[in-house]
Structure 1
Amino acid sequence: MLIDRQKTRFSCNGEALDAAPRCPGVYRFYSEANALLYIGKSVNIGTRLNSHFADAREPGRQQRMMAAVDRVDCQLTAGEIGALLIENAAIKAEAPLYNRRQRRSRKLWTQRLQENVDGFLQIFPSDFCPAGERFESVFGLFRSRRHIDDALRNLAREYSLCLRILGAERGQGACFQHQIGRCSGGCAGKESATDHNSRLLAALEQQRIAAWPFAGPILLAEEHERSSNYSGQGSAIQPRRQFHLLHHWSYLGTYERRDRARQAAKRGSPLVFDRDTYRIAIRSLRSSERVLLDGFSGESIANPFASSPTTTSPVVPH
């Protein structure tokens, strides 16, 4: 089947465009009947759409989707972070026909740490509530208590941790795993709490869901990257900067003006944890180049996740 891309219409937030914009943003495919088919993102929408049409040359799901596309509506962003956050939220809220369905577990479990009387950290399986504030770091998200038990045993085996100390087994004295050389001996007085705890925390680090380290909501500022790759149709209306509003790892919207972002922060919104939003946000915050602003005052604040956090950040114009 030959897809006639010349018949495809393009728009930006409902306004007609002559061609696909060549800058960052989110795009939506609509059918002739105005059904939402697909939501995607790219740092260069025009280039990404070329890939969609090229992939549609072969029979399959991509060809069926592109054959149904009547128009493409684009939502331009200052950069990739905005595109990632907006795309993720839009897919889950709007449920396009051809996007991969998001799996939602009715109940999730996580792991919390608590120190026992001897100073050893123990792991406690706990319900994970997606709503609300994040004042405590937790480790991992699991579909059941059994998945936590299995993961914990694998972790103990790989890092020579003591399951008895961790709280996964009962008993006193040296555990069986120590007798066969798989436990470093914290249960037998051969390893200090400091050493055992250090190894446990290192092993769990990749699973950490960090506590929210800020006093309130923040604005993650993103500047337009002036690049020759983004020239042409759409570049004139691409936002020069945007402010992404985050609070307790919940994404609460993207704004082109700082005052409007601050107004939204003061209004408040329900806080719902989303694993993909967390991953996007934490990866962005770990870049020392990111400018962070207090969501209420709009003043620059330090980034505790940057490799070399500073007390002040570059000034961002309103």
Structure 2
Amino acid sequence: MESPPATIRLTRRGRPLAGAGAEDLPACAGIYRFFDRAGSLLYVGKSVNLRSRVASHLRAARVPGREQRMLHALERIDCEPCAGELGALLRENAAIKAELPLYNRRQRRPRRLWTLQLTPGRGGFLQPRPTCFPEGEVLASAPLGLYHSEQLAEERLRRLARREGLCARVLGLEGGRGPCFQYQLRRCNGACAGEETATAHNDRLRAALEGQRLAAWPFDGAILLEERVSRPLPGQPRCQWHAVRDWSYQGSFTRRGSARRAAGAPPGAVDRDAYYILLRALRRGGLDLHAAGTGEAVGNPFLGQDRGERRGVTGTV
């Protein structure tokens, strides 16, 4: 079989859409879903141009491989236009996590995440310990990074120690007694050899880890991010309100009242991907921010930061 099915049903948010090919989809930002004949969800994607992105998928049906198999099972394409790129990114991430499409395996992140916690060690030296981030806890306490596994957290610590001249032995990353291996290579400042005090090493450790710290939620309560398009295309919303509380994405809405109600719900579990999407959007600016409770405009604390300040909220692997 060299091409996808000749007849593909098109829908917009589940409602029939005229046409039977990619050229009949709106050329605006949004997300799209591929369904098979049984109605099973195959794939969720996003683009700033739904028409061109879906067309590129369909052209790939001629190339043998995993995507070809998916497209040969394709029976319906559903599109969900968004006001802009931020809405598409947030909606795609949320849909993949909630709906578990068959061909989005790499993006279906495990819910169990890890962070770092400083604990006292021998001789007064602080040791960063990978700790499972409690499920359902919000990102309001500025944890020292989020990782998909304990091994990833430990590997980041090892790289950090080598780069900053920290001692892997006093950090609890290496066993044995006496000077550590990195000290022999002159890559450790000598905490293991009595040449650096616990206070000095701890200060350097805290400074190094500051670059891994996630940003604490800087707003007093939930906010609405207003995303507008000056000239919406047919079917595209002119404005969307993205409801966010404690870095938890609560949904996107074309009605402000609906967004305010969603923002008042308890925040969801930690979602690392949504955090980075929102942080990048706030750093770029260009969005109007409103307090969800009162509707009043609020300032963006991430604008105007210099590079040194911004390094403290970059996050990790």
Query: TM class by shorter-chain length?
Result: 0.7 to 0.9
Gaps of 5+ in 2: 307-317
Question: Is the partner of 1:211 in helix, strand or coil?
Answer: coil
Identity %: 45
Q: Which residue of 1 aligns with 2:248?
A: 250
Alignment match of 1:37 (pick from 35, 42, 61): 42
The structure-2 alpha-carbon separation of the partners of 1:103 and 1:201, relative to structure 1 and needing over 3 Å to count, comes to: farther
Structure 2 length-normalised TM: 0.79
Out of 93, 101, 115, the position equivalent to 1:96 is 101
| Alignment partner of 1:3 is 2:3 | yes
Larger displacement relative to structure 2 (275-284 or 77-86):
275-284
Local SS of the residue matching 1:213: coil
User: 1:72 is paired with a residue of what secondary structure?
Assistant: strand
- Name 1:314's counterpart in structure 2: none
Q: Which moved more, 1:162-171 or 1:46-55?
A: 162-171
TM-score normalised by length of structure 1: 0.79
Following TM superposition, the consecutive aligned residue runs of length 4 or more in structure 1 with deviations greater than 6 angstroms are 118-121, 169-176
C-alpha RMSD over aligned residues: 3.4
Alignment partners' CA distance in 2, 1:269 and 1:69: 37
Amino acid at match of 1:111: L
Provide the residue aligned with 2:297 in structure 1. Answer: 300
Aligned to 2:98, the other structure's residue is in SS state helix
**CA–CA distance in 1 between the matches of 2:88 and 2:96?**
12
- Give the letter for the 1:71 counterpart: R
Alignment correspondent of 1:127: 132
Q: Partner residue of 2:18?
A: 17
Q: Is the 8 A contact 1:161 1:200 kept in 2?
A: no
User: Shift of residue 105 of structure 1?
Assistant: 4.6
Q: Post-superposition shift, 1:245?
A: 0.9
Amino acid at match of 2:3: I
Question: How many matched pairs?
Answer: 299
Q: Look up the equivalent residue of 1:247 and give its one-letter code.
A: R
Give deviations 1:181-234, integer Å, cap 9, x for gaps: 2223567565896797467535652x43322222211111111154xxx7xxxx
- The offset of 1:296, in angstroms, is 1.2
> Do residues 201 (structure 1) and 207 (structure 2) align?
yes
Distance 1:91 1:176, change over 3 A: closer
Alpha-carbon distance between aligned partners in 1 of 2:33 and 2:149, rounded to the nearest angstrom: 35
Q: After alignment, is 285-294 or 40-49 more displaced?
A: 285-294
SS at match of 2:95: helix
CA contact (8 A) 2:86 2:281 kept: yes
SS in 1 for 2:266: coil
Aligned to 1:141, the other structure's residue is in SS state coil
Which residue of the partner structure matches residue 161 of structure 1? 166
Structure 1: segments with no counterpart, 5+ residues: 310-318
Q: Tell me, what secondary structure is at the counterpart of 1:221?
A: strand
Query: C-alpha distance in 2, partners of 1:12/1:105?
Result: 30
Alpha-carbon deviation of 1:301?
1.1
Cα distance change of structure 1 residues 56 and 85 upon mapping to structure 2, 3 Å threshold: same
